[in-house]
Amino acid sequence: MSNQTNREVLLEVNDLSQYFRISRDKVLKAVDHINFKIHRGETVGLVGESGCGKSTTGRTILKLYTPNTGNVYYGGKDVFTFTPEEDMQYRKRAQMIFQNPHSSLNPRMTVKDIVGAGMRIHDLAKSSELDDRIEVLLRKVGLNKDHMSRFPHEFSGGQKQRIGIARALSVDPEFIVCDEPISALDVSIQAQVLNMLKKSQQDLGLTYLFIAHDLSVVKYISDRVIVMYLGTIVEEAVSEELYRNPLHPYTQVLLSSIPIADPELVRRKKRRVVTGEVASPINPPAICRFVSRCPLADQVCREQMPPLREVAPGHNVACFKV
């Protein structure tokens, strides 16, 4: 991958927080003051265990939620200050592939209606051209024109996800949030969908935020990786660097949990195991979120929130012990 400094910043997240009030005195801090940038043409992997705020981050970026603090800059302008015309353009340029293809497709609509809806809304094709454009899109994702008149329940999970990808590509986007797009699919189909996403990126010059909890998948598709834990970013680095030299104790635990097919390597590999309770994201104190499970934690970790700081070129980590 080319040097990041030579690339245009397409999207910048600045001090973003997304809270959900669950009772009068309880606030769930799903995303808590995070910062990162995505450069044009790259794939940034966003990883962490379930409930860490990955999907909420993606949905807030696409304005499905209104944040409590912070800004999302797209092309240098805050998306939450867009005029109606700019907002319409943003919704065309930034799309989402949802995690569950079974619930993200309208069961009452045919494939033609699902894939063509965005084209009609954004006036991208005349009625006479619509069928041809949809057919081209379906071929691109491994389907054909015979599928246009069918309904979602007539397809397998992998085929449904391909329809979801065709829908996202239908409006010629620049940026796509891929929210765990293969986690609901059989392993045999996952590689096909990943390769299709990579090919679409090369052919169309797309930029991805790829959300996942499977680190081997993220390694395969991502240029850079951001690791989240309970609403905060704990580490960020170029993919090769992160997998070769993980610095945060949580990242080390995540990487040690990746299954290995070689029994000899398994025997030699030192597995990192954490104990202790996962902290609650409800009204969390301003300290390290990983402190209750970290083997390196000491008093300063229990009193302050570690800042995300650069410890090597392009490698940021939020840990007092690094």
Residue-wise over 210-230: b if at least 16 C-beta within 10 A, else e? bbbbebebbbbbbbbbbbbbb
- Determine the Cα–Cα distance for residues 48 and 71; give it in Å rounded to an integer: 22
**Residue 260: which domain range?**
246-322
Lowest-pLDDT choice from 32-36, 42-46, 138-142: 138-142
Residue 267 lies in a domain: yes
Check whether 142 has a pLDDT greater than 90. no
- Determine the Cα–Cα distance for residues 132 and 169; give it in Å rounded to an integer: 15
Q: What pLDDT, on the 0 to 100 scale, is given for residue 80?
A: 97
- The model's confidence at residue 182, banded by pLDDT at 50, 70 and 90, is confident
pLDDT more than 70, % of the chain: 93
Residue 295 lies in a domain: yes
Tokens (6 digits) for 171? 């409006």
Tokens (6 digits) for 208? 């991805």
Average pLDDT over residues 37-53: 94
Residue 159 lies in a domain: no
- The model's confidence at residue 127, banded by pLDDT at 50, 70 and 90, is confident
Q: Which residue(s) pair with 207 in the sheet?
A: 175
Q: What pLDDT, on the 0 to 100 scale, is given for residue 1?
A: 44
Residue 279 lies in a domain: yes
Check whether 103 has a pLDDT greater than 90. no
Count how many domains the chain has.
Answer: 1
Check whether 261 has a pLDDT greater than 70. no
Check whether 5 has a pLDDT greater than 60. no
DSSP H helical segments within 83-186, as ranges? Answer: 84-93, 101-104, 111-121, 127-140, 157-169
Lowest-pLDDT choice from 153-162, 199-208, 224-233, 274-283: 274-283
- The model's confidence at residue 185, banded by pLDDT at 50, 70 and 90, is confident
- The model's confidence at residue 158, banded by pLDDT at 50, 70 and 90, is confident
pTM assigned to the model: 0.91
Check whether 227 has a pLDDT greater than 80. yes
Q: What pLDDT, on the 0 to 100 scale, is given for residue 136?
A: 92
Residue-wise over 98-115: b if at least 16 C-beta within 10 A, else e? bbbbeebbeeeebbbebb
Q: What pLDDT, on the 0 to 100 scale, is given for residue 216?
A: 84
- The model's confidence at residue 72, banded by pLDDT at 50, 70 and 90, is very high
List the 26-39 sheet strands across, edge first: 26-39, 9-23, 69-74, 77-78
Q: What pLDDT, on the 0 to 100 scale, is given for residue 313?
A: 94
Question: Average pLDDT over the chain, rounded to whole?
Answer: 90
pLDDT more than 90, % of the chain: 70
Check whether 183 has a pLDDT greater than 70. yes
Residue 21 lies in a domain: no
Residue 320 lies in a domain: yes
Q: What pLDDT, on the 0 to 100 scale, is given for residue 118?
A: 93
Residue 31 lies in a domain: no
Condensed to tens digits (0 to 9), the pLDDT of residues 263-307 reads 665 566 665 666 777 888 998 889 999 998 998 899 999 999 999
Lowest-pLDDT choice from 123-137, 152-166, 250-264: 250-264
- The model's confidence at residue 190, banded by pLDDT at 50, 70 and 90, is confident
Residue 45 lies in a domain: no
Q: Are 238 and 244 in contact (CB under 8 A)?
A: no
- The model's confidence at residue 2, banded by pLDDT at 50, 70 and 90, is very low
Q: What pLDDT, on the 0 to 100 scale, is given for residue 319?
A: 96
- Determine the Cα–Cα distance for residues 170 and 102; give it in Å rounded to an integer: 19
